[in-house]
Amino acid sequence: MASKTNPSTPRLSEAARVLNIPEGITSSGFGRVRRVAERLDIHFDRWQEGIGTLMLAKRADGGYASSVGGIGMSICRQTGKTFTVGTIIVIECLTHPGLKVIWTAHRTRTSAETFKSMQALVKRPGLARHCKAIRQTNGQEEIAFANGSRILFGAREQGFGRGFAAVDVIIFDEAQILTEKALEDMIPTANAAKNPLIIHMGTPPRPVDPGEVFAERRTAGLNHDPDSVWIEFGADRDCDTADPDAWAQANPSYPHRTKPTAMLRMLKNLGEDSFRREALGIWDQDSEHAAIDPELWAQAATVERKPGGWTAMAVDMPPHRGWITIGACQAYADGTAHIDIAALKGVRRHGTGWPIAYLAERWPRLAAVVIDAQSPATVLIPPLKAAGIDVTVTGASDMGKACGRMLDMLQYHELTHKAGRQPLDQAAAGANIRRIGTGGAFGWNKLGSDVDISPLVATTLALHGAVTSTRRPGDEPEQRMIELP
């Protein structure tokens, strides 16, 4: 970062899209930090000073105003967050002997990059003499100061953070990928500290990210939690991603520090959707709840599917076994697909035997019939096999791939669905995600007790069957999609 403050840079109140300030602030420790920084020839922009003032804001008893609720920052890439937060933390270490700081990222690569940036910072003239040692062992890095203060760096994916005690400052970098388990492991480490600071900073999470923790921080900020700080930078949801005005709205470092070429490079290499989240700070609508973006789902609706392709079907039942859904998918050689509900009937009126005859009649023209191993619909597998149908039974790994495939195809406009199918629309609107294993896979879950996601599960599995099956039966040039009675 440059050493001269640009007086034309915006204040935090002008730059932040959302700003929640805790109640009862009487002072801030940032004044001391700024004076030390100036002696070291380090200068902050006005919005960075605002962040520092809120980070170190105190109440009358001397405790940090955000000590209970924490500090959350939804901050875009290429804004200088490591410089801003890192400089403040380093100076706090210099002025508070024995301070213990944990800086943790989700990925090893991110942790390593942060450590490298912080090494460069402490090697600046005036700071180097206060640095006792820089250590790197077993994937855990440390900057140790002559006065006993320490900053430890590590990746949560490697288990870093467990076992520490009396930690004064915890920084959760990449907070959009912060799991409840990691939070539970690390928050108790600050319980013995006299005046702890807990900082969450990241970009808006993707639907597949375990972003619930970060989203909860955001919800608290939006609801004006009196004990927490929430700072959110972002452009308008409907902005043109190539518009420099949107870049300036989202990134207070643009254009005096973050140059246009850097933004264009991100736009070209990230793709528009990732660029909206990571460079423009735009949160998905209801991303803290819904798994499927309602805008993408609406864009994928179509009255008629295109001709051709091959058909697969899948069966699912909700846990209460009140009805049975048969989902259908028409897949095409160009990699696109169309999903629909083929049939949906109540068990009380129609029983459980009707799918056998329904699918047996159509099996000669189907590429696959799919049922998930965890579904109550597994009771249909023996009679379906007895009817000569080769049922594909999916496991957890298959479900993870199927759900990820559906989201990806929606994102890249490769998937359509029949417009006006209310059960499927309701399922898509009411679906959350559940984690499968530790590798980032997920399956559909429901948001509330009144939501039935079995139509979504059935069509997702039908898509999986259509894409993965090599069976192409029949000589007909076109196979007809079964319409809902």
User: Quick one: DSSP state of residue 140?
Assistant: E
Closest by Cα among 170, 197, 195, 173 to 184: 170
Q: What is the CATH number of domain 12-278?
A: 3.40.50.300
Length of the chain: 485
Class of CATH domain 294-468: alpha beta
In the chain, CATH 3.40.50.300 covers: 12-278
Q: Which residue has the tokens 């609406």?
A: 298
In the chain, CATH 3.30.420.240 covers: 294-468
Cβ atoms 341, 323 nearer than 8 A: no
Query: Residue 255: is the preceding peptide bond cis (ω within 30°)?
Result: yes
- pLDDT on residue 288: 41
Neighbours of 432 (CB within 10 A): 19
Cβ burial 61-76 (10 Å sphere, 16+ → b, else e): eeebbbbebbbbbbbb
Give 119's Cβ-side CA count (13 Å radius).
Answer: 13
- pLDDT on residue 138: 65
Closest by Cα among 188, 135, 130 to 163: 188
- pLDDT on residue 230: 96
Cβ atoms 444, 460 nearer than 8 A: yes
User: Which helix (H) or strand (E) segment is 482 a member of?
Assistant: none
Alpha-helical segments (H) within 279-418: 294-299, 347-350, 354-362, 381-386, 396-411
Cβ burial 220-244 (10 Å sphere, 16+ → b, else e): bbeeebebbbbbbbbbeeebebeee
140-145: strand order across its sheet? 18-20, 229-232, 71-74, 197-202, 169-172, 100-105, 150-155, 140-145, 131-137
CB-neighbour burial class of residue 13 (10 A; exposed 0-12, middle 13-18, buried 19+): exposed
Cβ atoms 347, 324 nearer than 8 A: yes
Residue by residue, pLDDT tens for the chain (485 residues) are 333 445 568 999 999 999 999 999 999 999 999 999 999 999 999 999 999 999 999 999 999 999 999 999 999 998 999 999 999 999 999 999 999 999 999 988 899 999 999 999 999 989 999 999 999 876 679 999 999 999 999 998 777 877 788 899 999 999 999 988 888 778 887 777 889 999 999 999 987 788 888 988 998 888 788 999 999 999 988 789 999 999 999 999 999 889 999 999 999 988 788 899 999 999 876 434 568 888 899 999 999 899 999 999 999 998 888 899 999 999 999 999 999 999 999 998 999 999 999 999 999 999 999 999 989 999 999 999 999 999 999 998 899 899 999 999 998 999 999 999 999 998 998 887 777 765 667 788 765 445 789 999 999 999 999 999 999 885 444 444 444 44
Cβ atoms 44, 84 nearer than 8 A: yes
pTM of the model: 0.61
- pLDDT on residue 174: 95
Closest by Cα among 440, 442, 437, 415 to 327: 415
Q: What does the alpha-carbon distance between residue 348 and residue 262 come to, in Å, rounded to a whole number?
A: 61
